[in-house]
């Protein structure tokens, strides 16, 4: 069965935390591909100051040269809030039940999963791979509802994710990289460098387009 990782995000901007996590999961879960899916209108964040066109361009630059990584712009062409459940439905229409879809999520995002639109339907459409994010809240801070949800769907066996198309949750350890888009935006606003936090071609794009008030990245 084809096994596809899905990494949704604001990518405002994309950084090595995203890329390294995707690479490590591609390896540990033996993924056929990882799709990077920028959110046009993130439902749980203030509207990004940087347009979805720029954020997408940065994602495309960042994944250049990695044949396992794919850009997926389906949320950009939808009006209204970018709900993950609708993205998953659209992917299911495309792939049918023959593909295993694995939604990749930092632990910070998981603690708020029960606030997502139609959240209980998500697990019927995909598996979930949770990764621990440094400095984020951990399992203890899950609500009872989410703890039960995790318990009911949890598997220790990565192979299970290749044998069914949806319904399971795995937790994967990754190299902790304490990088966030927020910290990068703050650095750039102060005219500090964001080098070594993201690919050079993304830094060049930020400087050329003067995003995040960066005169020179």
Question: Which residue's CB is nearer to ligand ATP, number 166 or number 179?
Answer: 179
Of 61 and 179, the one with the shorter C-beta distance to ligand ATP is 179
Can you read off the two tokens belonging to residue 52?
């979805």
Nearest partner of 209 among 54, 59, 68, judged by Cα: 54
> CA-CA distance, 189 to 213, in Å (whole number)?
6
Nearer to ligand ATP, 99 or 109 (CB): 109
- Confirm if 63 and 71 have CB atoms less than 8 A apart: yes
Angstrom distance (rounded) from CA 106 to CA 102: 13
Give CA separation, 75 vs 46, 58, 82, 147, 205, in Å: 17, 16, 6, 29, 22
Question: Does residue 104 sit in helix, strand or coil?
Answer: strand
Shortest separation between residue 97's beta carbon and ligand ATP, angstroms: 25
Q: Name the residue with tokens 């998953």.
A: 88
Nearer to ligand ATP, 1 or 35 (CB): 35
User: Can you tell me the distance from the alpha carbon of 203 to that of 172, in angstroms, rounded to the nearest whole number?
Assistant: 29
CA distance 135 to 187: 18
- As measured in angstroms, the least distance from the Cβ of 110 to ligand ATP is 8
Closer residue to ligand ATP (CB): 93 or 213: 213
- Give residue for tokens 């994010």: 133
Least Å from the CB of residue 197 to ligand ATP? 10
Residue number with CB closer to ligand ATP (98 or 138) = 138
Min CB(165)–ligand ATP separation in Å: 21
For ligand ATP, the binding residues (CB under 6 A) are 9-12, 17-18, 21, 105-106, 108-109, 131, 133, 177, 179-182
CB 100 → ligand ATP: shortest distance, Å?
A: 19
Nearest residue relative to ligand ATP (C-beta)? 106
Cβ 96 to ligand ATP shortest distance, Å? 26
Among all chains, which residue has been given the structure tokens 């009006």?
A: 79
* Residue 80, helix vs strand vs coil: coil
């Amino acid at each position: 069965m084809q096994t596809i990782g899905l990494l949704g995000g604001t990518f405002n901007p994309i950084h090595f935390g995203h890329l390294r996590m995707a690479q490590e999961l591609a390896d540990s879960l033996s993924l056929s591909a990882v799709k990077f899916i920028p959110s046009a209108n993130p439902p749980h964040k203030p509207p990004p100051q940087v347009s979805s066109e720029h954020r997408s361009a940065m994602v495309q630059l960042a994944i250049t040269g990695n044949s396992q990584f794919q850009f997926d712009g389906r949320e950009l062409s939808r009006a209204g809030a970018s709900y993950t459940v609708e993205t998953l439905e659209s992917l299911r229409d495309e792939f049918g039940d023959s593909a295993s879809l694995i939604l990749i999520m930092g632990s910070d995002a998981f603690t708020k999963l029960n606030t997502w639109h139609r959240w209980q339907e998500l697990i019927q459409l995909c598996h979930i791979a949770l990764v621990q994010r440094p400095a984020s809240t951990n399992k203890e801070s899950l609500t009872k509802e989410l703890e039960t949800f995790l318990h009911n769907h949890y598997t220790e066996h990565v192979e299970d994710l290749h044998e069914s198309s949806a319904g399971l949750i795995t937790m994967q350890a990754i190299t902790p990289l304490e990088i966030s888009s927020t910290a990068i935006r703050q650095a750039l606003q102060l005219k500090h460098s964001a080098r070594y936090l993201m690919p050079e071609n993304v830094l060049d794009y930020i400087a050329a387009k003067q995003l995040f008030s960066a005169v020179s990245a």
